[in-house]
Structure 1
């Protein structure tokens, strides 16, 4: 599933090819995505000039001089740029024809993604209004996480994966960040000190920044690629490594289920 680093990699890869360009026309082959694509979407976007691309959580915001298109890649969605000679395949549901001659193509085999349109500020949209701060912003700090967690008995891992608390900390990144911070994923969120929360915030920022940086090596795939840009090779310490030696102490990595998600940790290094 595309997470924050993958969506940010997508934004960085597409921005130079979309910003300042006009969407000549759009073709929607399949409207039944997670939410139906509006029947008049093609009319709304045709002739619109793309002003800038932004990311909010896992949403890609395409600001135009007419309004804003909101993309969500869902479980299996991807955006890529192809030439007009590249024929659409079975799961290629949406095309935007650009004035450069390139086509922005959306592929989504499982159809859990979405393309929405708003004439208002997209940050105020129902899907985005409730979201917490960006994890790489100054608003996300140890003090913020400490104060937010007071009185909470839920696990710290489910806390940092809650998009109302902080956006974009997916399952892999939560496990890896907690390992770097030395905090057990099942520890009660309300019992963790301010100092340890600052370590956790630093770890989250480090893991996400490194993942985004590594994703940048795939930017060439956005033109004529295989439709899977930004899925970089992970260098993981604990995630998916149950039974393997911890890279720090050598003891076997353990796993458990928290919030219906597989969780990996070292019982010796994380307390």
Structure 2
């Protein structure tokens, strides 16, 4: 699933490719992609003549800004955007096509059809369900360490699923939670309220650094994921534990282990990330 770094890379790609473009017409081939109160027929009509004025990202959501509307897009498992000349035949699994006035198409493809687009009046995009409950962005400016520590003190829950639920900090998914916990030397099953202040400080720093480094690298390519420019991310070469089951830990040489935590495959070093507290 695309996580924050991959989604941010898609946002940058879209900004480079179609910022300022005007929508001539829209085709929707799978109506369920269109979510919210505005259904696909109205969705297609409302966007005719609208100009793309900007792009934003909140957590794993991409926000398209138009003059009158905002389009909130969640890629889910395998959603992706491609820009092609309108004369190029549609690929399999193309579900939404924005025909642009300059003769190009912005195409949304999704093998599993899990992705969703929601059109709302401009100004309502950050108050819609899903976005309004998100935690802060994982940056030094937005992600306050003291608030993070005080919040974890109240949570008698394993740290990995807590970080995955997006309410403590936005944008973390399975790959980057594993990487941040490894960097901070914290076992994924540690109870959040058992973490000492220094451990939380290390985790706070690791979350910001891991996600920042991944954004710079264009994200991580797992299986078939590519960004909006059709390029594969490069962060997979920097992964320390994710997908490394049985491979020696880069710090101590102990083989990396894989377990299930909250139904998610979870990678960690049993020597560097000791389970010192189970409550």
Same fold (TM over 0.5): yes
> Is contact 2:81-2:227 (8 Å) kept?
no
| Higher alpha-carbon deviation: 4-13 or 26-35 | 26-35
2:51 aligned counterpart, secondary structure: strand
Instruction: Report the Cα distance in structure 1 between the residues aligned to 2:105 and 2:40, rounded to whole angstroms.
Output: 20
Please say if 1:49 is aligned against 2:51: yes
| Higher alpha-carbon deviation: 176-185 or 33-42 | 33-42
Change (3 A) 1:189 1:216: closer
Superposed CA deviations along residues 91-111 of structure 1, whole A, max 9, x for unmatched, are 111111223322100001110
Instruction: Report the Cα distance in structure 1 between the residues aligned to 2:81 and 2:32, rounded to whole angstroms.
Output: 17
Change (3 A) 1:108 1:216: closer
> Is contact 1:237-1:246 (8 Å) kept?
yes
Please say if 1:157 is aligned against 2:165: no
Instruction: Report the Cα distance in structure 2 between the residues aligned to 1:132 and 1:221, rounded to whole angstroms.
Output: 25
Structure 2: segments with no counterpart, 5+ residues: 275-279
**Aligned pairs (5 A) from 1:1-271:** 1-33=1-33, 35=35, 37-119=39-121, 120-215=123-218, 222=228, 225=230, 229-234=231-236, 235-271=238-274
Instruction: Report the Cα distance in structure 2 between the residues aligned to 1:100 and 1:80, rounded to whole angstroms.
Output: 15
> Is contact 1:177-1:203 (8 Å) kept?
yes
| Alignment TM-score, normalising by the size of structure 1 | 0.91
Instruction: Report the Cα distance in structure 1 between the residues aligned to 2:137 and 2:269, rounded to whole angstroms.
Output: 27
How many pairs align? 266
1:79 aligned counterpart, secondary structure: strand
| Alignment TM-score, normalising by the size of structure 2 | 0.89
Q: What is the deviation of 1:26? A: 1.1
2:53 aligned counterpart, secondary structure: strand
> Is contact 1:142-1:200 (8 Å) kept?
no
Instruction: Report the Cα distance in structure 2 between the residues aligned to 1:121 and 1:35, rounded to whole angstroms.
Output: 15
> Is contact 2:143-2:169 (8 Å) kept?
yes
> Is contact 2:220-2:233 (8 Å) kept?
no
Instruction: Report the Cα distance in structure 2 between the residues aligned to 1:102 and 1:38, rounded to whole angstroms.
Output: 21
> Is contact 1:92-1:108 (8 Å) kept?
yes
Q: What is the deviation of 1:59? A: 0.8
Instruction: Report the Cα distance in structure 1 between the residues aligned to 2:14 and 2:35, rounded to whole angstroms.
Output: 23
> Is contact 1:9-1:230 (8 Å) kept?
no
> Is contact 1:256-1:262 (8 Å) kept?
yes
Structure 1: segments with no counterpart, 5+ residues: none
> Is contact 1:34-1:111 (8 Å) kept?
no
Q: What is the deviation of 1:55? A: 0.5
